[in-house]
Amino acid sequence: MHVIGFMAETTTAPSETARQLPWATPESSDVNEDALKALETYKKRDPSKVVVRFKAVGNAPIMKQNFYKITASNRFQAVIQFLRKELGWKASDPLFTYINLAFSPAPDDTVSNLFKSFCTDGHLIVNYSTTAAWG
């Protein structure tokens, strides 16, 4: 890896000679209030729910009920945890999860974002397997 590393004996950051860019003024008290209000609006969690449909792959046990309504603002990690609980899986038991038999999403993707991009017939299809299938 071509990275430049060097030691520093003092804690002073080399900021004095740093170039000032127009949007980065040191005073932070003059942040535009309209912009902050907009950010607060976008930060509100989406309370809506979407239908997630679980489908077993390979030797994974089949779930009796496989449609669930899950809050859209949840992260995919919460879906994985939910699935583990439903299957009675221990933390050490391997479980691989996929969308549309194609890829594993990042655990911090939200259900809402995944649903918007990948829903099929109004469902987000989550495949689960005990072995790596499309990894």
Partner 1 sequence: MSNYGTTRHHPAAAQKGVTDYHTTLFRRLSWEGTVPLEIRVDPQELPANSERGLECYFIQAPRVSYLPLLMPEIRRFLMDVVFDETAAKALKEEDWWFEADDGTLLKWHWPIGLIYDNHSILATVRPGSSLAGSMATPLRLILHLASPPTDKLLLSPSAESCKQAFMGQLKEADFIRWGNTKRITGLRKVDQDGLWEGIREHNFDDYWRVATKVTPTTTPNRSQSPGPPPSSVSMHGRPPSADNAGPPERDGAYNVRSVPVRVYLPDGPVIQDLVPPLLEDGTPHTLSHFLSTHIPLLFPPRPPAPPPSRAKPNPQAPSVPELAYPLVQGVLTPLESEMAWLGACLAGADGWLNICVGVNKK
Contact segment (CB under 8 A) with partner 1 among 36-44, 60-68, 82-90, 120-128 equals 36-44
Tokens 């009920």 found at: 65
Query: What are the structure tokens assigned to 8, written together?
Result: 């520093």
CB closer to partner 1 out of 67 and 103: 103
Element (H, E) at 35: helix 33-43
CB closer to partner 1 out of 25 and 92: 25
What lies within 8 Å, CB to CB, of 70 at 6+ separation is: 49, 50, 51, 52, 78, 79, 82, 111
What lies within 8 Å, CB to CB, of 131 at 6+ separation is: 58, 59, 94, 96
Q: Which is nearest to 79 in space by CA: 70, 87, 88, 66?
A: 70
**Shortest Å distance, C-beta 64 to partner 1:** 28
**Shortest Å distance, C-beta 53 to partner 1:** 17
CB closer to partner 1 out of 56 and 119: 119
**Contacts (CB under 8 A) with partner 1, residues 45-84:** 77
**Shortest Å distance, C-beta 65 to partner 1:** 26
If binding is defined by CB under 8 A, does position 13 make contact with partner 1?
A: yes
CB closer to partner 1 out of 38 and 69: 38
